[in-house]
Structure 1
Amino acid sequence: MSDAQPLYAKVKDHILENIRNGAWEPDQRVPSENELVESFGISRMTANRALRELTAEGFLSRVPGVGTFVKETPALTSLMELRNIADEIGQRGHRYSSRVVSKAEMSANPALAEDFEERGIEKLFHIVIVHEENGVPVQLEDRYVNPAVMPDFLSRDFTITTPTAVLVEATPVDELEHTVEAALPTIEQQRLLGIGPLEPCLALHRRSWSKSRVATVATLTYPASRYALYSRYRTSARGTLTQ
């Protein structure tokens, strides 16, 4: 580290080095402001700035009256592919579980008929399910399914498999549409996801087509502190998508 480097930046580099080399693991407590003051011979204001900036940058989380901890990196899910969340969680070496909130056949209102691009559609299957990683809710799935695409959808046991896995196995996916928006959780989402009213969420709205008809319409809600959405793909020199 350069002697010209600001003291708070040296403290930040020290903390980041310990996080990146695995010496300090997620949820592990990092040195307090007082401990940093003593170790580095710096002012409390300098120590506070280092911890405050690392918290703002997403590396640490500070719990008033308890301490400062290494923040676990949010899990990622792809925007470009149809991924089964149970597989994603399993690939990270974590335990997948789920809670089925409700599943039923319902009448299709005009808005849903428009989403499914079928004015004459009368019935839809509806499921609400919470997906958990190591017992922590990470996704709330609110899904409608076209009965013509999969008539036995509601008979499946969604405590041992996921709607995505069932649908992909039953019918080919020809096309996907994704729309993402940021939102604060509703009271019901707060309850099901175990989050507070000010916890930002990412809502992924997905439609999938099978044999040129809309098979399913879903909204997947993620607490932003627990999950992130990403995409990576090749482009032309001008940044447009390549075929």
Structure 2
Amino acid sequence: MTNKPLYLQIKSFIDTKIESGHWPVGHKITTELELTEQFNVSRMTVNKAIRDLVSEGKLIRKPRLGTFVCSPTEKAESPLLDINNISQEVRARGQVYKNTVLSQIQTHADETTATRLGIMLNSKVFYSEIIHYADDKPIQLEVRWVNIHSVPDYLTQDFSKKTPNQYLSETCPLTAIEHTVEAIIPDEKIKETLQLSSTEPCLLLNRRTWSKDRLISFALLYHPGSKYKLSSKVLLD
């Protein structure tokens, strides 16, 4: 006799059917009403189990049609309240990391860049644009502006060997970060770069970093919405 909560028993039952292949991808699972009768529980309990599996990407609800087994999509995950080196994240998942440097130049700050970096309009600023891959699949487009007075050797770095995140962390130890996350409709350039379908959303992380009292860099980090997620863990007293 199991001591598991009833919704977990139902979830385990469905999960076993999926993992064993008895319910393959595309299969319409037993209805909520039938599961309610089979396990002698409330509809709410069955609904909770199915909601959890939908959230985990194992099931998909189709209005007026039912609930179906879907192909699991593994999502890369990064901490929202910290900064990890993306190359280490990819390798920690057992995947092969590589990147392509699209741009690494000196330019002048427009109004938006000047505001975000806290510098004068038209000031010189370093700019880089890099695609990060996991197993040859693009998982992040990194667009970054860097304060040239704080990091004067930024343009001389080989970012195919050491990511900007790693280099900046070593050169200017991090003391503060600012994150803003939003879902956006990507433009054609981002769709092409990240190999997005015409309807796939994009997850954009806006990040500013400080070392002591110096604002070091501002970055826009674009991720495929179907392949990436951000998480956080807060310890409460």
Same fold (TM over 0.5): yes
**Residue identity matched to 2:101:** V
In structure 2, the CA distance between the partners of 1:81 and 1:95, relative to structure 1 (3 Å rule), is same
In structure 2, the CA distance between the partners of 1:32 and 1:227, relative to structure 1 (3 Å rule), is closer
Trace 1:89-108 onto structure 2 (pairs within 5 A).
Answer: 89-108=90-109
- TM-score of the aligned structures, taking structure 1 as reference length: 0.74
SS of structure 2 residue aligned to 1:196: coil
Name the structure 1 match of 2:124. Answer: 123
1:111-170 CA-to-partner distances (Å, cap 9, x unmatched) read 211111122671111111111111111111010011111111111111112110011111
Distance in structure 1 (CA, Å) of the matches to 2:220 and 2:52: 32
Trace 1:211-230 onto structure 2 (pairs within 5 A).
Answer: 211-230=212-231
Trace 1:200-239 onto structure 2 (pairs within 5 A).
Answer: 200-236=201-237
Distance in structure 2 (CA, Å) of the matches to 1:61 and 1:158: 40
Equivalent residues of 2:147, 2:216 under 8 A apart: yes
Q: How far 1:229 sits from its partner (Å)? A: 0.3
Equivalent residues of 1:61, 1:71 under 8 A apart: no
SS of structure 2 residue aligned to 1:147: coil
Name the structure 1 match of 2:4. Answer: none
In structure 2, the CA distance between the partners of 1:200 and 1:32, relative to structure 1 (3 Å rule), is closer
In structure 2, the CA distance between the partners of 1:149 and 1:61, relative to structure 1 (3 Å rule), is farther
Name the structure 1 match of 2:72. Answer: 71
Task: State the aligned residue count.
Answer: 206
Distance in structure 2 (CA, Å) of the matches to 1:198 and 1:31: 22
Distance in structure 2 (CA, Å) of the matches to 1:183 and 1:160: 30
1:26-52 CA-to-partner distances (Å, cap 9, x unmatched) read xxx925549x89xxxx9xxxxxxxxx9
In structure 2, the CA distance between the partners of 1:14 and 1:175, relative to structure 1 (3 Å rule), is same
Say whether residues 1:30 and 2:31 are aligned partners. Answer: no
Equivalent residues of 1:185, 1:197 under 8 A apart: no
Equivalent residues of 1:143, 1:218 under 8 A apart: yes
SS of structure 2 residue aligned to 1:70: coil
Equivalent residues of 2:104, 2:127 under 8 A apart: yes
Name the structure 2 match of 1:82. Answer: 83
1:53-104 CA-to-partner distances (Å, cap 9, x unmatched) read 8985422589xxxx96531331210111111010111111111111111111
Q: How far 1:228 sits from its partner (Å)? A: 0.4
Distance in structure 1 (CA, Å) of the matches to 2:25 and 2:222: 34
Distance in structure 2 (CA, Å) of the matches to 1:68 and 1:55: 10
Name the structure 1 match of 2:194. Answer: 193
Which runs of no fewer than 5 residues in structure 1 stay unpaired?
2-8, 43-51, 237-243
Which runs of no fewer than 5 residues in structure 2 stay unpaired?
2-8, 35-49, 62-67
Q: CA RMSD in A?
A: 3.1
Distance in structure 2 (CA, Å) of the matches to 1:144 and 1:133: 24
In structure 2, the CA distance between the partners of 1:54 and 1:30, relative to structure 1 (3 Å rule), is farther
Name the structure 2 match of 1:17. Answer: 16
Distance in structure 1 (CA, Å) of the matches to 2:148 and 2:221: 20
Equivalent residues of 1:183, 1:203 under 8 A apart: yes
Q: Percent identity?
A: 32
> Which stretches of structure 1, 4 residues or more, deviate above 3 A after TM superposition?
12-15, 31-34, 52-57, 67-70
SS of structure 2 residue aligned to 1:232: coil
- TM-score of the aligned structures, taking structure 2 as reference length: 0.75
Equivalent residues of 1:175, 1:210 under 8 A apart: yes
